[in-house]
Each structure stands twice: as structure tokens, then as C-alpha cells.
Amino acid sequence: MMNQWIICLILKILFELCAGTSISVVPGSKLELPCFAFPTDFSEEHITWKFNDEDIISSDSVEITGTHLSIYPVSNAHEGKYVCSARDPFLDTERRRSYSVSVTNLVRYTVVVREGASARLPCNYQSDHQIRGNAEWFKLTLMKNKKLLTHRNGTVSKDGRAVLLFDMDQDQTMSLNEVTMTDEGKYNCISTDGSTLSTVELVVMSAPTLPPHSCDGFTDPWEECEGDNENSRVTGPVLRESVTEFSFKLYSIFGESQQHKNLLYSPLSITGALTHLLLGSRNITRAALEGALFLPPRFHCVHSEMKRLREKLSGSLQMASQIFYNTESNLTTSFVKQSGEYYDSEPVKLKEDSLENVHMINSWVANKTKNKITELVKDVSQQTKLMLLNAVSFNGLWTIKFDEKPSKGYFTKLDGDMIKVPTLRNDDFQGSMVFVPELKAQVMRFELTGNNSLYILLPQSHKASDLQQVESRLTDSAVHQMINQIREAAPQRIQVTLPQIKLNTEQDMNVMIKKLGLFSLYESPNLCGLYAEEPLVLEEAKHKAFLSLTEQGVEAAAVTAMGFSRSHLSFSALRPFLLLLWSDSAQVPLFIGRVLEP
């Protein structure tokens, strides 16, 4: 009996020794294998590590530090068995610990969701993966795996419930809406090369009996900004910093989701629309919007500061807000009153007729953008309860003019192709130009009337990799350094060539809103401050922008230019570049853009 017990014990120990610990990791991750499960005073010299029975030598990706082995970045070559041996020189014994490491792209998730809600099933390509988008989602069933959505069929399943959130993106997360009990099971996300990127176990819990829609407790008006005037020296910079940080965050979202295309947006207009919505948001929706806008939580003064900013800029940039709403819905009186107070907007009722509404909305947009944008909506559905609009219009004249006579130059595109474009030239421009190391870009400042500047950020070559270098460094702190550096630079005589530009762009605000973590706007936002009668959800979001550069100056809704020379100092923006229209007085960006093809 006793012997048997000892054999069992020995077998158990042997088994543990042979099997070791199994670890599964994704490529590119960092792996730390400790030799001991507890702190010890074993010194490094008495420890040896073996990989598949060979001694390990430190390399770029494998390093032995103290009693740990670290591997970074993990690749398929690191798959195998790792054994650590620690020799005790006094007792002359040896202890071993082994790991069996497998490397797989596959990530497993379990998602638990309530019946009727939306489930997000995660799937991501590795960041160094060349492929973007095109992953396929399958539901695994006993008989045959059922394909849910493919790109050939668009990104929505037949029944419309499964939707790919970010289409041509590394993030191939699928949203499955109105989940039912029969959706429970295993789902696979498969890359075009056949490898499985993630498997998700979906667990559906029975729905709680939802309380009926209620705005009880959430209908108080937005709090006043206490001590408004004396506070403004503090609260002004808070808003400015939030706006700037948000502005550059938007660049990374838009730049990523539409690679190889011209880009232009007005961060101020997007901010204005979102803060106006914030005025009517309560509870978690308010917190989500504040977070997305980089505002401090419960920043009461956001609306009075937005008003102040709008007034400060009004000499060169005019901002207008408007709300159109369905006649059957009654907006809360406090929201209507505060919209007027802070956003100078008086809500307007929609008409019965869709065409009339299209005309009314587009006319408002055309009027507020000085006819630069004339067609925003094509139809207004009967379902539309409410439409919130923000329009900006900018006009600035160069303080140093360009030649009136037309000229042409060759713009080199990302792929190296050259196209002939009309240009703006000044062979004797007095201006400031610097190389900004933080941005890896040659930057030139063009002064405009009304205390504004246009900055052109020229990457080191026309190549996509150089453009991406600049884009990835474009942050609020790098831009402030750029502005300071250029302010201190002595003006020089520069031969300038800029392409004449007329940009007309439309950004996908839906992707932006999701990437800002504002999913709830599409699902169940709390907009009780605005409209308390029934729940509202976001249907569609758009951003269009226009910018033109002419001999006289910049007209925006937004645009760009450059020059080139041989013997003189020159600044020629006849290749892809970034542009930044900046308010020098309010110190916030007005328009941000990228020109790949004028």
C-alpha cells in the first residue's frame, strides 16, 4: 500500500516534469519565462536555458536576464520546448522547469451578451500584417460552417444583423445585432490566406425585462458655468487643449481609414456638432462624449467656452449650428433655450414633404458655407426625428501675395507619377521655413489676414513611407513645437511654388464615431436633455469639406500650395503634403488636410 502511494507520487512528479507548462502566444508579443515560480537567490551563473535541447544564446529577440528568459518579438521560430536548469552548487542538485511554447495568430474570446443586445466579436490583423480587411466570419455548426459575411456581398449579412464595423481596416470586428438565443455558439474570423485570426464563443443570456424608456432624473438643464468671466482664464485653455488633442486624434482616424486619398476636415466643425449634442446628452452618453472630446469629466464651461471661441474666431471663421426636427417631437425647452444662448441656433421644424426638407437643409448649408458646399443631403426620411448641423466658413487673404500670372508645374504623386498642375509662385517670398525634427518635415508658414496662418508640412520625399512618418508624428505637442520653432526662425527670401488646389472631400463620420468609442450613439444614447419623449439613435453622420488656394488667399470650407527652385532657397510643395490652417489668435486648428493629388 505504502509503495503504491510512493509510486503514484513519483509518477505525478515525473508527469509534471515532462509536460511542463503549455503556453500559447501570438506573433509579435512579448514572452517572459521565469525559471522559478517564486523569488530566489539563485545567481545567473548557475542557470542554463535550453531550447529544443540546444543551449540558448542571447540574440536580438531572445535575452536571458537574471532568472528570466524574455523573447520579443515572438515569431514562429520561437515555437518549441524551453527548459531552465538551476544547479544548486552547495547541495549539488539540479532543478528543472520546462515550458512548451506554441505560436499562433489565433486569439480566443468569450463574449457574453444579453438577448436583444448587440455583440461585438473581435478580430484583428497583426499590426505588421500586409493584408487589410477582407476577413471572413463563419458560424461553426455541426454539419457545415455557415458564412456570415464576405466582402463580395458587402459587409452586411443577408438578414442585415451582422455588420463589419470597419470594413477595409486591420480591425475586422463584427457586430451582431439583436442577438437571439439561437446565435449562441462558436464563430471564426478567417483571413484571406486561410489562417484563423480569432475564434469567439458567444454566450447569450436571457434578456432582463427592460424598464420602459424613461428620462426620469435626467431632464435638468445643462449646469451654468459658475463665475464665467473670471474663470475663463482657466477654462479657455482647457477647451483649447481638448480641441487640439481631439483634432489630431481625428487625423489618425481619418488618415487610417482612407489611405491614399486626399483628406480634409474641419476639426472645429466636428467639435461644434459634438459639443452641441453634448448639451443634450446625459449620464453615460455625456461621459462618453466628454471622453471622446478629451474634455475633463463634468466640464460645465464647455458650452460657454465654445461660444467664446466662436466669437473670437468670427472675424475670419464663421461657425453656425442648426437643428431641424420632426414636428411630432417636442424638444425640451431648456435645450432650445440653451441652444440659442450658446450656439446661437433656433431649432427649425421639418416639413411633411421630404423634397422640401432636402431643399431647406441644403439651402441652410449653402448659405452658411457661402455656397462652397451646396449638397449635403439627398433625402430626408420620414424616420428622421432630428438633424443637428454645424457649418463653418473661412476666408483669409495672403499677407504676401503670389504672382498674378498663371504658371504650371509638375506634381509628383505617391507612386512617382507626375501630373501637370496650375501653380502659385512667388520667386521672392519673405517667409519662414524650418525643418522640424519632431515631425520629420520641412515646414513653411504662410501668413493670412485675420491672425491666421497656413502651415504646409512637406515630408522628405514623395514616398508613402515618408508621408506616414510625418502623419504618425502629428500630435498636438509636436505641432506646438513646430509653431514655436517657426516663430523663432528669421524670415528669409524663398522661391515658393504651391499647387493651386480645390479640395472637395467627404469623410466617413460613422467610422470616426465608432473609433472614438461612441458606439452607444447608434444603440441607446441618453439624449434626455434634448428630447425626453422617446429614445433616439444615431442613423448617419457626414463631414464634407472644401478648401481652395488662389493667388489671393485661402477660402474654406479649406486647401493648399508649394514652390521649387534650384539656386535659391526654395519650398516646392509639388508632391504629397499635409496642411494645417491655424488660428494664431485662438491657437486652435481650423482645417487639417492632406494633398496626394491636387
Provide φ and ψ at 492, rounded to 5°: -130, 170
Range 215-234, binding ligand NAG (CB under 6 A): 217
Q: Write out the three cell numbers for 86.
A: 538551476
Burial class (CB in 10 A: 0-12, 13-18, 19+), 85: middle
Name the burial class of residue 48, with classes exposed (0-12), middle (13-18) and buried (19+) by CB atoms within 10 angstroms of its CB. middle
From the list 164-172, 230-238, 365-373, 544-552, the region that binds ligand NAG by CB under 6 A is: 365-373
> Which DSSP string do the residues of 130-178 spell out, in sequence order?
S--S--EEEE--SS-PEEEE-STTTTB-TTS-EEESSSSSSB--EEE-S
Pick between residue 221 and residue 422 the one whose CB is nearest to ligand NAG: 221
**For the residues of 514-571, what is the DSSP string, one character each?**
HHTT-THHHH----TTT--SS-------EEEEEEEE-SSEEEEE--------SSS-EE
Give the one residue of 371, 382, 430, 468 binding ligand NAG; rule: CB under 6 A: 371
Give the integer Cα–Cα distance in Å for 181 and 583.
54
Of 223, 165, 158, 213, residue with least CA distance to 189: 165
- Alpha-carbon distance 552 to 596, whole Å? 23
Q: Is 114 or 370 the residue whose CB approaches ligand NAG more closely?
A: 370
Among 9, 131, 234, 284, binds ligand NAG (CB under 6 A): 284
> Footprint of ligand NAG on residues 512-551 (CB under 6 A)?
533
263 vs 302 by CB, closer to ligand NAG: 302
For the CA atoms of 303, 308, 314, 318, the dihedral, rounded to the nearest 10 degrees, stands at 0
Q: Label residues 106-140 b or e (16+ Cβ within 10 Å = b).
A: ebeeebebeeebbbbbbbbbeeeeeebbbbbbbbe
Among the residue ranges 152-160, 331-339, 470-478, 571-579, the one whose residues contact ligand NAG (CB under 6 A): 152-160
- Confirm or reject binding of residue 102 to ligand NAG (CB under 6 A): no
Least distance (Å) from ligand NAG to the CB of residue 448?
12
- Could you give the CA distance from residue 47 to residue 476 in angstroms, rounded to a whole number? 48
In the complex with ligand NAG, which residue's Cβ is closer, 34 or 296? Answer: 296
Kindly state the number of chain residues that form the binding site for ligand NAG, as judged by CB under 6 A. Answer: 18
Closest approach, Cβ 82 to ligand NAG, in A, equals 44
Q: What mask of x and - would describe binding to ligand NAG in positions 447 to 486, judged by CB under 6 A?
A: ----x-----------------------------------
Grid cell for residue 302: 464647455
Query: Smallest Cα–Cα separation from 529: which of 302, 327, 276, 151?
Result: 276
Contact 572, 564 (CB under 8 A): yes
Draw the binding track, 26-65, toward ligand NAG (x: CB under 6 A; -: no contact): ----------------------------------------
Considering only residues 188 to 217 of the shown chain, the ones binding ligand NAG according to CB under 6 A are 217
CB of 99 to ligand NAG, least distance (A): 42
Q: How far is the CB of 140 from ligand NAG (least distance, A)?
A: 15
Say how many CA atoms lie within 13 Å of 59 toward its Cβ.
11
Q: How far is the CB of 288 from ligand NAG (least distance, A)?
A: 9
Nearer to ligand NAG, 235 or 507 (CB): 235
Question: For residue 208, what is the DSSP state?
Answer: P
Backbone angles phi, psi at 454, to 5 degrees: -105, 125
SS3 205: strand
Among 24, 43, 180, 367, which residue sits at the site for ligand NAG (rule: CB under 6 A)? 367
**Does 241 interact with ligand NAG (rule: CB under 6 A)?**
no
Which is nearer to ligand NAG, 290 or 466 (by Cβ)?
Answer: 290
* CB closer to ligand NAG out of 118 and 587: 587
208 burial class (0-12, 13-18, 19+ CB within 10 angstroms)? exposed
User: In the bound complex, what is the minimum distance in angstroms from residue 287's beta carbon to ligand NAG?
Assistant: 4
Please report, in angstroms and rounded to a whole number, the separation of the first and last CA atoms in the chain.
Answer: 89
Query: Applying CB under 6 A, which of residues 32, 88, 328, 403 lies at the interface with ligand NAG?
Result: 328
Q: Is 158 in the site for ligand NAG (CB under 6 A)?
A: yes
- Cβ contacts of residue 259 below 8 Å, gap of 6+? none
Closer by beta carbon to ligand NAG, 507 or else 520: 520
- Check residue 421 for interaction with ligand NAG (CB under 6 A): no
Which range, of 35-43, 121-129, 221-229, 279-287, touches ligand NAG by CB under 6 A?
A: 279-287
Would you say 308 or 425 has its CB closer to ligand NAG?
308
Q: Which of 147, 413, 440, 463 binds ligand NAG (CB under 6 A)?
A: 147
Q: Which residues bind ligand NAG (CB under 6 A)?
A: 147, 152-153, 158, 217, 283-284, 287, 328-330, 367, 370-371, 451, 533, 584-585
